[in-house]
Amino acid sequence: MFFRQRSTANATLSYLFGCAGHQVAIAVDVVAGDEAWFAAEAERAGARITQVIDTHVHADHYSGGPELARRVGAAYGLHASNRGRMAFAFTPLHDGQRITAGNVIVDVIHTPGHTPDSICLLVRDLRRGDEPWFVITGDTLFVGAVGRPDLAGREREMAAQLHDTLHQKLLCLPAELEIYPGHQAGSACGAGLSGKPASTIGFEKRFNAMLAMDKQAFVDALTAEIPPAPTDMAAIIEANLRGVTPGATQA
């Protein structure tokens, strides 16, 4: 397996990983303007990008996913709940769906809470073993924090859903599983994020204060001090729903 984590604009973390042996790669949460970097890194690894995935329709940055997918001839995947919402064709991803890239296996987990369409990607490398190795957590679980629940409205309901998601779908995963989030410190998608870009399920269970709360305390804490909405949020969401990428023309 090869694996790249890219720290990019708006404290976003993007990912490119895949199977070198079978020469296939998957790109996750690509930021507009970064398409050339992904294409070049895949080429450097000798791989073809077959899947481009966004963990949700982003509100804080223009997605480069649709443009990268068009450039390299890959499928562009989003959670299936976005059907009827997007202005262009995409590959609908479902909870429990398995994506194969050579020896790299990706299981889609629907993790609503930050947004209704949020997904996490559980990844295993059959060359290393049968067990999952890491999970890409998008804006559901960060290092030292969790995703903000208000961007889709109904913040208390969404916060309660995020608590269910975290406890029923992520914290039951093995303690040694690595987590790779969608942001680090400086992001508008959550509060209290660490500047460290990776962790493990076990470390977060022990030291992430949000994960020790019962549902009521979690909802109260998460909705008590909501950070300002991301700059240009409405325009960004609108562009991401249409699949246009203003940053694609940037250097």
Site residues for Fe ion per CB under 5 A: 139, 189
Give one DSSP letter per residue of 10-35, joined into a string. Answer: GGEEEEEEEETTTTEEEEESPBTT-H
Strands 134-138 and 48-53, how do they pair?
unpaired
Q: At its nearest, how many Å lie between Fe ion and the CB of residue 59? A: 6
**Closer residue to Fe ion in complex, CB, 211/236:** 236
**Closer residue to Fe ion in complex, CB, 33/138:** 138
User: From CA 98, how far away is CA 147, in angstroms rounded?
Assistant: 25
- Nearest residue (beta carbon) to Fe ion: 139
Q: Name the nearest CA neighbour of 121 among 100, 102, 107, 104.
A: 107
User: What is the residue type of 6?
Assistant: R
| SS3 state of residue 190 | strand
**Closer residue to Fe ion in complex, CB, 132/149:** 149
User: From CA 123, how far away is CA 105, in angstroms rounded?
Assistant: 6
**Closer residue to Fe ion in complex, CB, 45/239:** 239
**Closer residue to Fe ion in complex, CB, 18/182:** 182
**Closer residue to Fe ion in complex, CB, 189/193:** 189
User: From CA 55, how far away is CA 59, in angstroms rounded?
Assistant: 12
Q: At its nearest, how many Å lie between Fe ion and the CB of residue 119? A: 12
Q: At its nearest, how many Å lie between Fe ion and the CB of residue 85? A: 16
Q: At its nearest, how many Å lie between Fe ion and the CB of residue 1? A: 26
Quickly count: other Cβ atoms within 10 Å of residue 130's Cβ: 8
Q: Name the nearest CA neighbour of 9 among 182, 240, 139, 208.
A: 182
Quickly count: other Cβ atoms within 10 Å of residue 44's Cβ: 10
Q: At its nearest, how many Å lie between Fe ion and the CB of residue 135? A: 16
Q: At its nearest, how many Å lie between Fe ion and the CB of residue 151? A: 7
